Amino acid sequence: MKLIPANEYRKLIEQGRATAAAFAEGQEPPDHKPVVKLFTPDANCTWLIAELDPDEPDIAYGLCDLGLGCAELGSVRISEIESVRGAFGLRAERDRFFRANRSLGAYAAIARENGRIVT
């Protein structure tokens, strides 16, 4: 299974371009809604991905939670997520039913309060 389908990939690139344009113009970057939720079924890791770097699309930006009680906003390589294996050897998956109902910043604030990503 492809981790990020084409339509979501295009949206992630589009949001990455919007962020790059804001930085280039010296403006505050937009607080996008996450496009995909990735998780490990057997390792308690979750990633809410909001954008891909348009120049290097293996680099994603989002809210990353490795199950240690401290979710963080930052960059991660999609190839690294694809290489993660949980306790039973299961790969990361995309939550096909995830639909963001708030911005990434709002998810981050809720994660700080709860010690984990809450969707």
Flag whether 59 is in a domain. Answer: yes
Flag whether 99 is in a domain. Answer: yes
Q: How many domains does the chain have?
A: 1
- Span 44-88, pLDDT tens digits: 999 999 999 999 999 999 999 998 889 999 999 999 999 999 899
Percent of the chain, pLDDT > 90? 92
Note down the domain range covering 27: 6-114
The DSSP 8-state label assigned to residue 94 in this structure reads E
Flag whether 92 is in a domain. Answer: yes
Closest listed residue to residue 57, CA positions, set 28, 88, 85, 79: 79
pTM comes to: 0.95
Residue 31 pLDDT = 98
The count of other CB atoms within 10 Å of the CB of residue 55 is 9
Residue 15 pLDDT = 98
Flag whether 119 is in a domain. Answer: no
Flag whether 56 is in a domain. Answer: yes
Residue 69 pLDDT = 87
Residue 88 pLDDT = 94
Indicate the pLDDT class of residue 8, thresholds 50, 70 and 90: very high
Flag whether 29 is in a domain. Answer: yes
The DSSP 8-state label assigned to residue 100 in this structure reads -
Flag whether 11 is in a domain. Answer: yes
Q: For the chain, what is the mean pLDDT? A: 96
Residue 2 pLDDT = 81
